[in-house]
Structure 1
């Protein structure tokens, strides 16, 4: 795999350069308006990202978080298919292309890349940013409505990140079906909320029905053991906060945690984790409590103590979302 730091730093530098030409008040105002409407609105004939100022502000605010969430999902997927790398990638609803950067941070080499989105200003900015990433130099940025008429060309990998919430139930189903028909592997990322998790599970069920195997985060392809309405499966990715983040949200911490839900599914032979840590580990004196989803299709808690030797050391270093031996 590539070093993820290089694409992440390159992306942050490119976004900072773009934001430098936008008055701070205008950028903050655009972000405050967009974060209240962009995710959760069904696309219309007038894209929500209306012009370059909107797109620059939103990209600077959201691209780093989307990049980190998608990269985390792709890392888990890559662990489950260690001898494979995509030879082609389509990012549906990709806007300015954060998921394409995450793919380049996960697998080395060049590949055909296509980004589909309804908002022309987002596509234009994505292409401009991609000039800083050699692996995206030949990417195609195409305007397309994400709906039942969407047709996808055959490819190895389709990513869909923070898009399902913008669609009707019927359009979500059509998009997942189109991805399943076109790709060998599909990775879907949504917000780490109960509703975001519900959309991920809905997509997961459709992908399994289409013959896909679940690679991550689940250790199995059976029904999710979480009872709807009682809990939800989500994870966390740490994101460096820009000055724009601090200006809009306040606070002084140099980072924030992006909560996300995801599913990575494939038609390839897969080696999913024996178990997955689904909550932040609780470190107590002489013991670590781990909440796990296991390959026995159950949720459960295990306690690892000093008596477990090296396993205890591993537990103390384990993080939310990591694989764990069954």
Structure 2
């Protein structure tokens, strides 16, 4: 069911949990989540390795699932893209780096940027047994809002759940710095909330102005056709382990992570053709299937009648976030 952590990462996390009070971690995870929701950043929330471990237990599976979904879509949209280097900005426990290695096994170099020593420490401990690029990653303590910090260039630059921790007045500068460091594809992942979408919408405008080619989820470079209270976001289902359920105070064996994202590329890296994307769960009824799409010409409502057997069969396989080729 859903996207699970890679075996080596799951085993490393279990090793870190050996002998650690699950109740204590659950309490730390609850305090950490409340602090993040109140607007505090990692520097004020994750003060030591136990805080970082509690965060990883509660959030690493969902963050990995969202990143794996986004980077898998980037690989699909740019089939000729074969990155050798990754810059994981605001890396935290480095979920995005693990997801990048799953999408592109040919990656040979990984750099982590994070302001939090406990996160960098935990990410390094979780790298024991990881593929060589992660195990040998270049780990740098860095403030993403500090311009001219000498970030290395990379074929793939990823910032997952990072813009949310940056003051709104500084976000545009950070996006420009990320784009300056990118030689190929830039992927931004944020919570699937109206605020997360607003941050990505501003990043999208800045990147298009800088000459970027938007690959996903948008099938066009025109103004976003969505208007409040609607917003562009997606969902991925992931399984919960017993420890994960305890950390979240949840009973369900699965979790639906809502996320928003943007994938941009240097011009000419991917084919120009774009297909409409499904913006919500398809609605199936006796007459057929109704789809809400964002296409090259803007928002579309598409009905695929049951009598169109090939089209209906294809539409039945579509999910929220998929592209519509009909």
TM tier, smaller: over 0.9
SS at match of 1:224: coil
Measure the CA separation in 2 of the matches of 1:107 and 1:6.
Answer: 17
Tell me which residue corresponds to 2:28: 30
Gap change, CA 1:7 and 1:85, over 3 Å in 2: farther
Measure the CA separation in 1 of the matches of 2:274 and 2:73.
Answer: 9
Measure the CA separation in 2 of the matches of 1:10 and 1:190.
Answer: 25
Tell me which residue corresponds to 1:177: 176
SS at match of 2:19: coil
Aligned pair count?
320
Assess if the C-alpha contact under 8 Å between 1:31 and 1:58 holds in 2.
yes
SS at match of 1:37: helix
Larger deviation: 305-314 or 33-42? 33-42
Equivalent positions of 1:126-205 (< 5 A) are 126-134=123-131, 135-149=133-147, 150-183=149-182, 184-205=184-205
1:101 maps onto 2:98 in alignment: yes
Larger deviation: 214-223 or 257-266? 214-223
Tell me which residue corresponds to 2:281: 280
Assess if the C-alpha contact under 8 Å between 1:28 and 1:57 holds in 2.
yes
Superposed CA offset, 1:90-129 (max 9, x none): 0110111000011011111232110100110110110111
Q: CA deviation at 1:181?
A: 0.9
Measure the CA separation in 1 of the matches of 2:37 and 2:73.
Answer: 25
1:19 aligns with one of 7, 17, 20: 17
- TM-score by length of structure 1 reads 0.92
Q: CA deviation at 1:285?
A: 2.0
Larger deviation: 273-282 or 143-152? 143-152
Gap change, CA 1:239 and 1:5, over 3 Å in 2: closer
Assess if the C-alpha contact under 8 Å between 2:25 and 2:247 holds in 1.
no
- Which consecutive unaligned segments of at least 5 residues does structure 2 have? none
Assess if the C-alpha contact under 8 Å between 2:211 and 2:267 holds in 1.
no
Measure the CA separation in 1 of the matches of 2:250 and 2:123.
Answer: 29
Instruction: Please tell me the root mean square deviation across aligned C-alpha atoms, in Å.
Output: 1.9
Measure the CA separation in 2 of the matches of 1:100 and 1:182.
Answer: 16
Larger deviation: 111-120 or 308-317? 308-317
Gap change, CA 1:5 and 1:248, over 3 Å in 2: closer
Assess if the C-alpha contact under 8 Å between 2:279 and 2:293 holds in 1.
yes
Q: CA deviation at 1:5?
A: 6.7
- Which consecutive unaligned segments of at least 5 residues does structure 1 have? none
Tell me which residue corresponds to 1:67: 64
Q: CA deviation at 1:161?
A: 0.7
Q: CA deviation at 1:17?
A: 2.4
Q: CA deviation at 1:321?
A: 0.5
Measure the CA separation in 1 of the matches of 2:225 and 2:150.
Answer: 33
Superposed CA offset, 1:209-256 (max 9, x none): 1110100111111111112x2210000011111223322444432111
1:112 maps onto 2:109 in alignment: yes
Assess if the C-alpha contact under 8 Å between 2:86 and 2:154 holds in 1.
yes
Assess if the C-alpha contact under 8 Å between 1:47 and 1:118 holds in 2.
no
Larger deviation: 5-14 or 313-322? 5-14
Structure 1 stretches of 4+ moved >6 Å: none
- TM-score by length of structure 2 reads 0.92
Equivalent positions of 1:310-325 (< 5 A) are 310-325=310-325
SS at match of 1:176: helix
Tell me which residue corresponds to 1:9: 7
SS at match of 1:76: helix
Tell me which residue corresponds to 2:232: 233
SS at match of 2:106: coil
Measure the CA separation in 2 of the matches of 1:112 and 1:203.
Answer: 26
SS at match of 2:289: strand
Q: CA deviation at 1:268?
A: 4.0
Gap change, CA 1:314 and 1:97, over 3 Å in 2: same
